[in-house]
Amino acid sequence: MKRKSKHSLQNMLAEYRAVTSPSVIHQLEQLAAPLKGAKVLHINSTKEGGGVAEILHKLIPLKQALGIKADWEIINGNQEFYECTKGFHNALQGMRQSISEKLLRNYEKINKENAEKLNSKLKEADFVFIHDPQPAPLLKLTPERRGKWIWRCHIDASKPYRNVWKYLRDWVTPYDASIFSLPEFAQPLPHPQYIIAPSIDPLSDKNCPLPDHEIDSIFSEFSLDPELPLITQVSRYDRFKDPVGVIEAYKLASKLTPLQLVLAGGGASDDPEGEAVLNEVKQASNGAANIHVLLLPADANRTINALQRASDIVLQKSIREGFGLTVSEGMWKGKPVIGGDTGGIRLQVIDHYTGFLVRTPEGAALRTRYLLHRRDKLEEIGMRAKRFVRENFLITRHIREYLTLMVGLTNGDEERIDVGKA
Amino acid sequence: MQNAVGNMQQKTPFAVKDCALITIATGTKVQNLKEFAVALKDVPLGSIYHHFWGRLLRALFDEPEYNNDFASWAYRGLHDKPLAEQLSMVLPTDYEDLECLRQEMIEVVEQRLDESEYVPWAKIDQQFHFLKSQIVIFDTGIRYNHPAELVSQIIQLSTGSIYYHFIDARNRTEERHDDFSSWLNGFGNDFEELVHNLRSLDPYFSSLKEIRLSVSTIFQTFFEKEK
């Protein structure tokens, strides 16, 4: 990853200071002091698409601004590799998967090739963060490592399909620590399991404030009716996000309340199933005039921002969800979120306070009708949602926890660690 | 026990510390009240601390109904409102240390089990996960020599500093009070009213930002009256 100049890194800290507060940034600077100069390497499997890449795009420069030598590498794979790791992903989320020996051997071979390619960086790093199952074998393939290795699982692994988990567990067990987004996702492992929720970046194109004309322009761009209430789900086309359930909810709600639905998603380069799900969604929408199924490019961040801001309600009706960053994104724009009662959505949507948790398309339809009928509640819940995100789900909180973890790991399993005495 | 502000001698500067907390899973999870009672006896004391105090440094909705995680679960997971109410009124500062607090919790839970005709259960996705935390404490280098200096400064402190001095101190110090009022006591009777007002602030239902604002207001009100 290309390094930013010292000046632009300092400017970046100043911008975060303005969005959060001086004390938030000052705290990060002090917490980072004992880690100054440490080599920190993050590894995942894609630079674009999906929440992990999005977080890393911001986390790395922020760490650099705090004096840490942070770096980000991706592992490269072939089609069979991604087929295999998509199988892992589905299996960790509880789906029964049969992954052939051939795919597993290919997975190991690809990791071996990447371990060789990245060998010097892997050996020298003080901290290596391995994101999700794709690069998990790198630790065992780097016997001369010297740093602390942390496996970061972004997936809802609360009820993994056991056969696949048993295979992955062998790769993950020797790590110094692992990180899960929620306590429910943690699995029995012989090392500390830290709990860190992901975050959104308030300065990114996807979340920064937009001028009114840019928000309004999406109505003509996507042939939306500016007079009709708009509900939106932004998500990859993935069955766990239940886009077909969202269409069902729209159909139920629109019988009594005129409205329009936008389903906006892009493909992640490591998700081979997206196209099949997109076809299912198109079939379910059956060409209805007020259902807009959009396939957006990976860099359409400002468009997504505008769509969320133009919406009356944001939906995230997932049936399984690692965290669901789109929930925080919607809430940050002052929108109530109707979310699936699952995983990390529960951490963000406090039922009746920052949105509604639902289990069925009927539930989503009911809450949609209620909010569109009670505009006062819609506004009140939206304002509360924004405040909740400001305090809990911005990237500044996320990086604070990463820094705390790194300081913590270097001090063993002590519960209280005193550092940086003046 | 460690004391945050030194020996509380008059005119010892108030040393502002800050802290950050990271949550760690203990691996212990329970689904019914009987399992909960058993687990309470075994979990590390750090877990008791985390669920009473550490929660304030976690993502937490700022209008919580119950003031510790155990009580929240009794209500939301087990739907046992009487137990939630009883657990909510277990005040950690009433007990000498975390072990005594643990014993009281066990008493309350076992009493409830004796009263119940059946064991309350939670749904599979509403299990209670015992957590603990690691706290990193660092000295900010900021020192205050006189209480009047805090009037304009408290609002500038990070929520981590507020947590350390106003919440953590109740568990950390022998006095079982916040660090601000303990420091003020070192000035004799001059700040008696201020000490009283700080100690009358119930921190259990507020976010750290709200506590910071309340503490700041208490200081401001006191020194405006003094003028």
One digit per residue, the tens of pLDDT, for chain A of length 422 reads 556 677 787 888 999 999 988 888 999 999 999 999 999 999 999 887 677 888 898 899 999 999 999 999 999 999 999 999 999 999 998 999 999 999 999 999 999 999 999 999 999 999 999 999 999 999 999 999 999 999 999 988 888 999 999 999 999 999 999 999 989 899 889 999 999 998 999 999 999 999 999 999 999 999 999 999 999 999 989 898 999 999 999 999 999 999 999 999 976 555 667 888 999 999 999 889 899 999 999 889 999 999 999 999 999 999 988 788 899 999 999 999 999 998 889 889 999 999 999 999 999 999 999 999 999 999 999 999 999 999 889 999 999 999 999 999 998 878 899 986 54
Residues 45-84 of A with CB under 8 A from B: none
Q: Extract the tokens encoding A160.
A: 């993994």
Assess A359–B contact: CB distance below 8 Å, yes or no. Answer: no
User: What pLDDT is stored for residue B173 in this prediction?
Assistant: 87
d(CA A232, CA A222): 13
CB–CB contact B22 A422 (8 Å): no
Assess A217–B contact: CB distance below 8 Å, yes or no. Answer: no
CB–CB contact A195 B25 (8 Å): yes
Q: Which residues pair with B29 in a beta bridge?
A: B129
User: What pLDDT is stored for residue A348 in this prediction?
Assistant: 94
Is A80 within 8 Å of A145 (Cβ atoms)? no
Q: Extract the tokens encoding A37.
A: 């100069």
Banded model confidence at residue B176, pLDDT cuts 50, 70, 90: confident
Q: Kindly report the number of other CB atoms within 10 A of residue A272's CB atom.
A: 15
In 3D space, the residue among A22, A7, A111 whose CA is nearest the CA of residue A64 turns out to be A7
Which residue in B has a C-alpha nearest to residue A393's C-alpha? Answer: B59
φ/ψ of residue A272, rounded to 5:
-75, -10
Please report how many Cα atoms fall inside a 13 Å half-sphere around the Cα of residue B131, on the Cβ side: 29
Q: How large is the average pLDDT for residues B96-104?
A: 93
The residues spanned by each domain of chain A are: 6-199+394-410, 212-392
Is B26 within 8 Å of B79 (Cβ atoms)? no
- Is a pLDDT exceeding 60 seen at residue B8? no
Assess A144–B contact: CB distance below 8 Å, yes or no. Answer: no
Q: Which of B25, B62, B157 sits opposite A186 (nearest CB)?
A: B25
- Is a pLDDT exceeding 90 seen at residue B215? yes
Q: Which residues pair with A262 in a beta bridge?
A: A232, A292
User: If you average pLDDT over every residue of chain B, what do you get?
Assistant: 89
Q: Is beta strand A313-316 parallel, antiparallel or unpaired with respect to A416-419?
A: unpaired
- Is a pLDDT exceeding 90 seen at residue B205? no
Which residue in B has a C-alpha nearest to residue A199's C-alpha? Answer: B59
**List of long-range contacts for A44-47, beta carbons under 8 Å, 24+ apart:** A44/A72, A44/A74, A44/A75, A44/A130, A44/A131, A44/A132, A44/A134, A44/A135, A45/A74, A45/A75, A45/A77, A45/A82, A45/A85, A45/A131, A45/A132, A45/A134, A45/A135, A45/A270, A46/A74, A46/A268, A46/A269, A46/A270, A47/A74
d(CA A191, CA A92): 19
ipTM of the complex: 0.87
Read off the pTM. Answer: 0.87
Query: Worst-scoring range by mean pLDDT, A100-114, A166-180, B53-67, B138-152?
Result: B53-67
Please report how many Cα atoms fall inside a 13 Å half-sphere around the Cα of residue A330, on the Cβ side: 29
The number of angstroms, rounded, from the C-alpha of A373 to the middle of its chain's C-alpha atoms is: 31
Q: Which candidate in B18, B22, B139, B154 is best for mutational testing of the A interface (most A CBs within 10 A)?
A: B22
CB–CB contact A192 B160 (8 Å): no
User: What pLDDT is stored for residue A28 in this prediction?
Assistant: 94
Whether A6-199+394-410 shares its CATH topology with A212-392 is answered: yes
The number of angstroms, rounded, from the C-alpha of A238 to the middle of its chain's C-alpha atoms is: 14
The third-level CATH classification (topology) of the domain covering A6-199+394-410 is: Rossmann fold (3.40.50)
CB–CB contact B134 A421 (8 Å): no
d(CA A91, CA A162): 8
The third-level CATH classification (topology) of the domain covering A212-392 is: Rossmann fold (3.40.50)
CB–CB contact A391 B207 (8 Å): yes
Q: What is the helix (H) or strand (E) element at residue A325, kind and residue range? A: helix A325-332
User: What pLDDT is stored for residue A420 in this prediction?
Assistant: 61
* Min distance B59 CA to chain A CA atoms (Å): 5
